[in-house]
């Protein structure tokens, strides 16, 4: 924990949650994006519509889902549709205002790699893959990205283009016929970044409490650009912190309980 009573990861999640509005229709990624979206739903944006890739619409989970197939999502959804309907009607139909994604590797133009580290044919590490993220990245009206900073994750050139951001920068999306905005916000555990209006290179616009420019640069694989007027991210409120911690405590308890029940059942069956 930091000296002000919250961790960098908690600051990241809460800063990301603040970017969401009650009238957003948000396509949610598992992990940090899911935590941020549900904190928003439980605090300042109770009317937000959360959609997960498995087809659950308007879901309101009381615990963080372990995957898109977690039953909690379907149990608490307004409705559940087929995956083809989700992608064709909702996503490609232009009905998603925000796509919220994570990344294993990211470059300064918001291109995301979640496929492989190293050469594709002989990778050092095989990652989970894209799932629906490539389509989310091109068909959502805009994209928010959240991730913890490290030189290994934030690189000059990603090893594989899983989800297209701003390509080589500038008007690359438009030249390819992609008419959505692409990545408009990056929230890390150290700072808030936005793309330059012309070059589309991510630029730091706000530092989290007690974070320095040097710290941001030390944990980034490209030369960081900072806004002329650099802000400081407001600290989490008591409500935001309590909501996030309670959500994670419920999630951890539910997961551990499930594992314990499974272990007991296995011993009975044996």
Q: How far apart are alpha carbons 55 and 63 in whole angstroms?
A: 18
Q: What is the 3-state secondary structure (H, E, C) of 226-250?
A: EEEEEEECCCCCHHHHHHHHHHHHH
* DSSP alpha helix (H) spans, the chain: 8-18, 32-42, 71-75, 83-85, 133-139, 172-175, 213-218, 238-269
Q: How many Cβ atoms are within 10 Å of 175's Cβ, its own excluded? A: 10
User: Which one, of 38, 107, 22, lies nearest residue 76 by Cα?
Assistant: 38
Q: Is 103 helix (H, G, I), strand (E, B) or coil?
A: coil
Q: How far apart are alpha carbons 174 and 181 in whole angstroms?
A: 9
Is 253 in contact with 246 (CB distance < 8 Å)?
no
Q: Single out the catalytic residue among 53, 72, 135, 240.
A: 53
Q: Is 72 a catalytic residue?
A: no
Q: How far apart are alpha carbons 240 and 237 in whole angstroms?
A: 5
How many residues can be counted in the chain?
Answer: 270
Catalytically active residues are 53
């Amino acid at each position: 924990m930091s000296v002000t009573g919250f961790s960098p990861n908690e600051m990241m999640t809460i800063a990301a949650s603040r970017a969401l509005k009650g009238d957003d229709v948000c396509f949610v990624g598992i992990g940090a994006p899911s935590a941020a979206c549900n904190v928003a739903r439980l605090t300042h944006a109770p009317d937000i519509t959360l959609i997960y890739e498995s087809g659950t619409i308007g879901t309101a989970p009381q615990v963080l889902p372990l995957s898109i197939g977690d039953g909690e999502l379907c149990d608490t959804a307004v409705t559940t549709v087929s995956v083809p309907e989700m992608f064709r009607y909702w996503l490609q139909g232009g009905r998603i205002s925000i796509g919220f994604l994570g990344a294993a590797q990211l470059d300064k133009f918001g291109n995301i790699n979640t496929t492989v580290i190293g050469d594709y044919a002989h990778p050092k590490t095989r990652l989970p893959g894209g799932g629906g993220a490539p389509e989310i990245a091109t068909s959502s009206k805009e994209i928010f990205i959240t991730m913890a900073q490290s030189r290994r994750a934030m690189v000059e050139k990603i090893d594989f283009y899983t989800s297209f951001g701003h390509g080589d920068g500038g008007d690359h999306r438009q030249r390819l016929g992609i008419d959505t905005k692409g990545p408009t916000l990056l929230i890390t555990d150290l700072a808030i970044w936005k793309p330059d209006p012309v070059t589309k290179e991510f630029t730091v616009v706000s530092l989290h409490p007690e974070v320095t420019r040097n710290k941001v640069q030390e944990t980034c694989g490209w030369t960081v650009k900072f806004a002329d007027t650099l802000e400081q991210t407001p600290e989490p409120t008591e409500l935001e912190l309590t909501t996030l911690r309670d959500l994670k405590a419920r999630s951890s308890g539910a997961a551990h309980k499930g594992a314990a029940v499974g272990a007991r059942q296995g011993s009975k069956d044996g």
